Structure 1
Amino acid sequence: MSEGFWLVLAIILYFGVMVAIGFYSWLQTQKYDDYVLGDRGLNPVVAALSAGASDMSGWLLMGLPGALFVSGLSELWIVFGLFIGTWANWKFVAPRLRAYTEVSNNSITLPSFFENRTHDQSRILRVTSAVIIIFFFTFYVSSGMVSGGRYFESTFDGDYLTGVLIIGSVTVLYTFIGGFLAVSYTDVVQGTLMFLALLIVPMLALFALNDPSDILTWPTEQPYGPWENGNPDYFNLVAGVSAATIIGNLAWGLGYFGQPHIVTRFMALRSPAQAKTARRTGTIWVFICYVGAVLTAMVSTAYFGQKSASVTDQEGFETVFLDLARIMFHPLIAGIVLTAVLAAIMSTMSSQLLVTSSALIEDLYRIVNKNPSQTSLLVLSRTMVVVIALIGMLMALNPSDTILGLVGFAWAGFGSAFGPVVIASLYWRRLTSQGALAGMIVGAITSFVWGSFFGDIIYEMVPGVILATLAMVLVSLATRPKEGVEEEFDEAIAATDYALDHPEVSFPDALEAVKGNRTGSAAV
């Protein structure tokens, strides 16, 4: 049988599993809160793998190896920043956000949390947050569609548009059916595939070389990819890289605090105490995945130089992982391995589609219709998943940037607009609704304008976060928190600390214990 038959069979099996998980999740989704946040019942390991898989996208297996292949290890500064950001997000944001979103009127989306946290009655803060989510996620979803198209080009020598349509359609199908639980459960399968593939593919390619130690000399001395005589600075972390570039790449880690599709997993944990287990699982997973991506790039420099093979993508070289897998394995095994790329692409897209749908329905539609039925909310949420996917497909028809470029633009937008506000919401009782709004708007505008016109100077995340933080702090100091905001802050933090000290206690019981202690103290 032909190679194409086996590859198609593997992909069909994978798609079948994803859709089956979607239908299983549909049976568990009885109401709107289930569809959006899984009724806050997510296992910590599931939360960790889901956050990791939805975070990485096709960038991990395509964009990052391609960048390292072309430019060398100077691209590792992004990895350093992201790894630190992953750990810090689970350590400092996850427990408090899980607790505070429940204390603050059981907020199930980030925009609703900002509104409830600051007691904003104008709805401006919530609407602005939703608009920012919709805007930047269209670019993020588009990057996934682009990855899907390039995946089909490399794997099947197929048509880019066909890839965009097929991968987009299957992702929409299981997200449409099962909502948050489908996205989370499929992320576990997808995260496991990514993890195993990034271990197996580069290791087998390494031992297929004439001499495995060639990866330490080939990229600096021999021709490969865009380098006719090798890249003598391949292993130099700072060669040809300015201080501004290093700072900008490290700043990618700041973006974690404001990514709605990641922090939503924190909100869905069963209790704040489970963030500790999730943090350990998530950081180990992402560390090994990064090592695999780096090794893939290093091995590829020697492999494609020594073997009679070439990289399909001769511009960004973002298909080195796909090409290695196709060359080394039987087509059926290669197809299974290559589903890891689909996993990375689809896990991120599904999370983004769901968050964008939630922003449209929970944070915009429910302002107009305050008492919709559960059925109408579910129908509208599913409809919006389809609409956003179609917009992403249209944008992907003629991509104007690399996968990494599209991801970087959206990542900076969310990090600048939401990151400072999330941190201040959880650690500064003096934050006001006006300050949060000012920081959000300044961060989003700065990120967009700087990225469009001054991106060559430094990554837009840096000025975006700095100016957003200044605006947020100055405006908050010039205004006053609404009545009850500071008391609610103290209650949320006390409940978080109690839950962390008593992991066997459910969070509602922890909250009741804190309230009971305060009532008792007041009586005395």
Structure 2
Amino acid sequence: MTVDTLSFSIITVVYLAAVIFLGYLGYKKTKGSDDFLVAGRRINPLVLALSYGATFISTSAIVGFGGIAAQLGMGLVWLTVLCIGVGVLIAFVIYGKKTRTLGQKTGAVTYPDLLGKCYNSHFIRKISALIIIVSMPIYTAAILIGGARFIETTLSIPYDTALLAFAAVVAVYVVAGGLIAVMYTDALQGAIMFVGMTILLVLTYVYLGGVNAANTALDSMSSLVPEALLASGMTGWASMPEFLSPIWLTMITTMVLGVGIGVLAQPQLAVRFMTVKDNRSIHRAVMVGGPFVLVMTGVAFTVGPLTNVWFMRESGQLAVDAAGGNVDSIIPLFINSAMPDAFIIVFMLALLAAAMSTLSSLFHTMGTTIGYDLNPRTKSNKPSMKAIQAGTLLMIAASTVVAYVLPENIIARATVIFMGLCAAAFIPAFTHAIYSKKPSLYAAKISIITGACSWFLWTAFVHVKESSVLGLSNAIFGVNSVLPMPWGVVNPIVIALPVSIAALIIAIFIENQKKECAVIKTD
């Protein structure tokens, strides 16, 4: 570590003071449950855009996926295309406006609450809340691990202390200030992330001799692709893998589709559309959200592969070898090896901001889910602030415990797991709810259950990355995957989401047929 620890510590303290101050402003503006849950439905479009982007882009994109790009190449830039096209344009314009309108019309304040009110169903609300509570702590714990490991390394304090302190700082402003505090701090953290990643891209190309020189050098390294990756379909760091090869399937189905499509059903993101007063605010937010996501993901997926040029020139090694085989260490190692001390501090602060922005949103979502959606109604049928705050503290504690048991190199995988499950379970029912005048409750139930179950079955018995860890397939069938390659590298979202969509369509057809038969019998 070349950075001056004292300087970084001082800047970190100033940053944390600013975060706590913004959290205090959120606390002062939080007068009731609507303020705590949906920021009073009056958030500025700029704050919406930065909060959405900072929540969406975490250490997973910067460090986790950036490291994977260093290993597998620039083909991951296709995820940037989907993040902008789907995660911003479609999410804001196609889903965001409808979500805001229905949220205001029904008075919904959480994602499960919105689904439940659209279908007029306690079951839909409860099962949606349960899926969130079961799956989100895994993603939350992974982000918590990344932030704690970062603090441990930069400030030279014990991991346990870093983990608990990190969770505690975020907990203070989430519990006290609710979504207003979360979105205010997200905006600050998003601005820091944007500046840090922009400087990273510029300095990387400067140190590698310019855009043309750097890209040409990367392209010329195709002969250095390791034999194992070559056999799996990799052709180089500046080109796509062979079509339908194991690496192509992993890159496209897991990284690109898993995250690029999964973003549409993220509860912590969808609720942000309910925080603005009109659709014009959503349109304005797109103008900021698009460039933000472009820079955050595009830089990570461009710089990642280019680190191979740097490490090969400096040490005669590929990036993954220089990092000891740990892809999550590639980007931090490159920063520490190539960048000036002043920028190391900026980038470390950007990483801390990325982790805190996502973590605060996840804490808030889990807290409102368990304290509001799964909590029995009070006599006045109004949300209990004490129950929500208690639920938030409970889920923070649960996520911290999960962080102690998760393995290393889990950040990117945990992201894909959570987003894939949400996509399979929620996207069809969510789309049907916001675009149908009379959405079918029967079809929604079938779709959510079928999507979640098919996702789990493929995860537990086919997709090798997870099935080999869970051990169910091996225990029952004696193999890590019950299907031969390449099925073992096809992400569950590619199977479970179409199954969920088909289940919804078939259920709607069956229900309509029953109604027609009932009418005929009546006549």
TM-score (norm 1): 0.83
CA contact (8 A) 2:12 2:349 kept: yes
Corresponding residue for residue 90 of structure 2: 88
Query: Counterparts of 1:435-474 in structure 2 under 5 Å?
Result: 435-455=443-463, 456-474=488-506
Deviates more, 1:24-33 or 1:230-239: 230-239
Counterpart CA distance in 2 for 1:181 and 1:314 is 42
TM-score (norm 2): 0.83
Aligned residues: 475
Do residues 237 (structure 1) and 245 (structure 2) align?
A: no
Corresponding residue for residue 482 of structure 2: none
How much does 1:225 deviate? 11
CA, structure 1 residues 54+460, in 2 after alignment: closer, same or farther (shift >3 Å)? Answer: same
Query: Counterparts of 1:12-411 in structure 2 under 5 Å?
Result: 12-86=13-87, 87-104=89-106, 106-120=107-121, 123-156=122-155, 159-209=158-208, 213-218=213-218, 220-221=220-221, 233-239=236-242, 242=245, 244-245=249-250, 246-252=252-258, 253-307=260-314, 313-327=323-337, 331=341, 333-367=343-377, 369-371=378-380, 377-400=384-407, 401-411=409-419
DSSP 3-state at the match of 1:237: coil
CA contact (8 A) 2:273 2:282 kept: yes
What's the RMSD between the two structures over aligned residues?
2.9
Deviates more, 1:78-87 or 1:382-391: 78-87
Which consecutive unaligned segments of at least 5 residues does structure 1 have?
482-524
Deviates more, 1:251-260 or 1:37-46: 251-260
Counterpart CA distance in 2 for 1:196 and 1:2 is 19
Counterpart CA distance in 2 for 1:82 and 1:2 is 33
DSSP 3-state at the match of 1:30: coil
Corresponding residue for residue 503 of structure 1: none
Counterpart CA distance in 2 for 1:110 and 1:135 is 15
CA contact (8 A) 1:77 1:249 kept: no
Counterpart CA distance in 2 for 1:215 and 1:36 is 47
Counterpart CA distance in 2 for 1:384 and 1:227 is 50
Look up the equivalent residue of 1:371 and give its one-letter code. Answer: S
CA contact (8 A) 1:136 1:410 kept: yes
How much does 1:284 deviate? 1.7
Counterpart CA distance in 1 for 2:102 and 2:509 is 22
Deviates more, 1:308-317 or 1:450-459: 308-317
CA, structure 1 residues 206+457, in 2 after alignment: closer, same or farther (shift >3 Å)? Answer: closer
How much does 1:313 deviate? 4.8
Percent identity of paired positions between Structure 1 and Structure 2: 20
